[in-house]
């Protein structure tokens, strides 16, 4: 027979589930309760049900406006774009053709960005904004979080110079884009987090770049302040893989970690692994990647400034191999689009890396 205490515990548990669901889906507690109750309070089933709605219509107008007769070399800067113009990401970035040249630029460039595909408002225009930044920076590697299937289909249609690797087939998930002309995929895998309640996993790709072996990893670690324990377990798995990778492989991890500094301190970074932002001098202008003071996409009654999006590097250490090191970091996506909103509620993180000759 259920006791009053059992009823209180059940109510508290369901309230926490509603809070987590609302945080992930960007809805309120009423919507969360509805989906959870319909799915017997199973978080994964409820989220799948929520995301199973037909989202293709969000991009329908954008896709139908494509002009098949447009030249394949057409390019578009971030400024002055119009909704019907397509962006060819096969070309070099504007004004930097020598830097983007496959033969002249030996450095590696990376963008990591939670693109907030769960937010349906202005989603097509915000997706175009992402493509504009990719055309502008032409990164070799792109780590993306909070993708949804229609967003992936949009990127496959527009970013034809990239190979897109998906961390799932439904719901919301992380993804990885590799510039075909410069980064060669060897193999990829999806690593499950055994105790996640939020459909999170680790996407891993083994690649070859300019003669170097790289292991690229991206993830969206568990969200919400109360999920610190699970988040630290997930970070521990990431760090284990970085530590145990062969010494002839350079490992790069980036993503929306949702980490607090105290959580990182508890897990600890293995020898040889560095936080790129810290290695580059903890530059203040790159500190806050989630900043409700500057980013108005989320209407919240408080100011929250956090370094949720992080990049970690473990260079190859074998004697005779070039050693990779970070040389630059910047935040991207800080300009409002024509719709009056930003590309995402997170800023993107741009990093570049160079090598020192083997000793």
User: Is 256 annotated as catalytic?
Assistant: yes
Which of the residues 88, 256, 291, 309 is marked catalytic? 256
Cα–Cα distances in angstroms (integers) from residue 331 to residues 76, 165, 291, 323, in the given order: 20, 23, 12, 25
Does one domain contain both 24 and 114? no
Does one domain contain both 42 and 163? no
257 located within any domain: yes
Does one domain contain both 20 and 69? no
Does one domain contain both 26 and 158? no
CA distance 93 to 95: 6
58 located within any domain: no
180 located within any domain: yes
Pairing status of strand 141-147 against strand 108-114: parallel
**Do 107 and 354 form a contact (C-beta atoms < 8 A)?**
yes
pLDDT of residue 67: 44
Using alpha carbons, select from 83, 84, 131, 92 the residue that is nearest to residue 111.
131
146 located within any domain: yes
Other residues' Cβ atoms within 10 Å of the Cβ of residue 297: 18
Does one domain contain both 87 and 143? yes
225 located within any domain: yes
CA distance 126 to 332: 13
Does one domain contain both 203 and 274? yes
Q: For 217-256, how does the pLDDT look when each residue is reduced to its tens digit (9 = 90+)?
A: 999 999 999 999 999 999 999 999 999 999 999 999 999 9
Torsion of the alpha carbons at 177, 181, 184 and 188, rounded to the nearest 10:
20
Does one domain contain both 210 and 163? yes
**Residue 56: phi, psi to the nearest 5?**
-60, -30
Q: Please, what sign has the CA dihedral across residues 189, 142, 164, 337?
A: positive
Does one domain contain both 188 and 238? yes
Does one domain contain both 164 and 254? yes
Biggest alpha carbon–alpha carbon distance for the chain: 75
Does one domain contain both 234 and 131? yes
The encoded tokens of residue 342 equal 């930003």
Can you give the residue range of the structural domain that contains 22? 4-51
pLDDT of residue 314: 98
- What is the number of alpha carbons within 13 Å of residue 300 lying toward its C-beta? 17
CA distance 167 to 67: 31
Pairing status of strand 309-314 against strand 274-275: antiparallel
∠ Cα 66 113 165 (to 5°):
65
286 located within any domain: yes
**Do 165 and 187 form a contact (C-beta atoms < 8 A)?**
no
User: What CATH number does residue 16 fall under?
Assistant: 1.10.8
Please state the pTM of the whole predicted model: 0.79
Residue for token pair 């225009």: 125
Does one domain contain both 33 and 162? no
pLDDT of residue 46: 81
pLDDT of residue 27: 75
pLDDT of residue 103: 43
Does one domain contain both 222 and 309? yes
pLDDT of residue 254: 98
R_g of the chain computed on alpha carbons: 21
56 located within any domain: no
CA distance 347 to 334: 7
Domain count for the chain, please give it. 2
User: What CATH number does residue 263 fall under?
Assistant: 3.60.10.10
321 located within any domain: yes
Per-residue pLDDT of the chain (359 residues; tens, 9 = 90+): 556 676 777 888 888 888 888 877 767 777 788 788 888 888 877 876 776 544 555 566 555 555 444 444 333 333 333 333 444 554 444 333 333 444 456 799 999 999 999 999 999 999 999 999 999 999 999 999 999 999 999 999 889 999 999 999 889 999 999 999 999 999 999 999 999 999 999 999 999 999 999 999 999 999 999 999 999 999 999 999 999 999 999 999 999 999 999 999 999 999 999 999 999 999 999 999 999 999 999 988 889 999 999 999 999 999 999 999 999 999 999 999 999 999 999 999 999 999 987 76
**Do 309 and 256 form a contact (C-beta atoms < 8 A)?**
yes
């Amino acid at each position: 027979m259920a006791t009053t205490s059992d009823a209180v515990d059940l109510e508290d548990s369901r309230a926490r589930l509603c809070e987590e669901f609302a945080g992930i889906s960007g809805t309120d507690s009423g919507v969360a309760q509805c989906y959870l109750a319909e799915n017997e309070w199973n978080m994964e089933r409820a989220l799948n049900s929520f995301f199973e709605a037909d989202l293709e219509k969000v991009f329908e107008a954008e896709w139908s406006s494509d002009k098949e007769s447009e030249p394949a070399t057409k390019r578009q800067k971030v400024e002055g774009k119009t909704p019907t113009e397509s962006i060819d990401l096969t070309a070099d970035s504007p004004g930097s053709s020598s830097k983007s040249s496959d033969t002249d630029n030996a450095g590696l460039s990376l963008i990591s960005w939670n693109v907030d595909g769960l937010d349906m408002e202005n989603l097509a225009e915000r997706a175009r904004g992402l493509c504009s930044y990719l055309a502008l920076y032409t990164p070799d590697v792109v780590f993306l979080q909070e993708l949804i299937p229609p967003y992936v289909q949009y990127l496959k249609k527009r970013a034809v110079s990239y190979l897109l690797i998906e961390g799932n087939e439904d719901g919301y998930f992380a993804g990885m884009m590799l510039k075909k002309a410069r980064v060669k995929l060897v193999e990829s895998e999806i690593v499950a987090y055994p105790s996640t309640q939020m459909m999170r996993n680790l996407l891993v790709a083994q690649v070859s770049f300019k003669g170097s072996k790289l292991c690229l990893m991206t993830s969206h670690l568990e969200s919400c302040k109360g999920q610190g324990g699970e988040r630290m377990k997930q970070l521990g798995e990431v760090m284990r893989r970085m530590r145990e990778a062969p010494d002839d492989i350079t490992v790069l991890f980036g993503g929306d970690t949702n980490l607090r500094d105290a959580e990182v301190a508890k897990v600890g970074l293995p020898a040889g692994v560095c936080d790129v932002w810290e290695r580059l001098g903890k530059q203040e202008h790159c500190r806050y990647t989630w900043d409700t003071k500057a980013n108005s996409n989320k209407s919240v009654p408080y100011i929250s400034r956090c370094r949720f999006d992080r990049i970690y590097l473990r260079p190859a250490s074998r004697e005779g191999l070039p050693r990779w090191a970070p040389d630059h970091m910047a935040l991207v996506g800080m300009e409002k689009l024509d719709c009056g909103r930003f590309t995402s509620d997170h800023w993107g993180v741009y990093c570049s890396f160079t090598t020192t000759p083997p000793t």
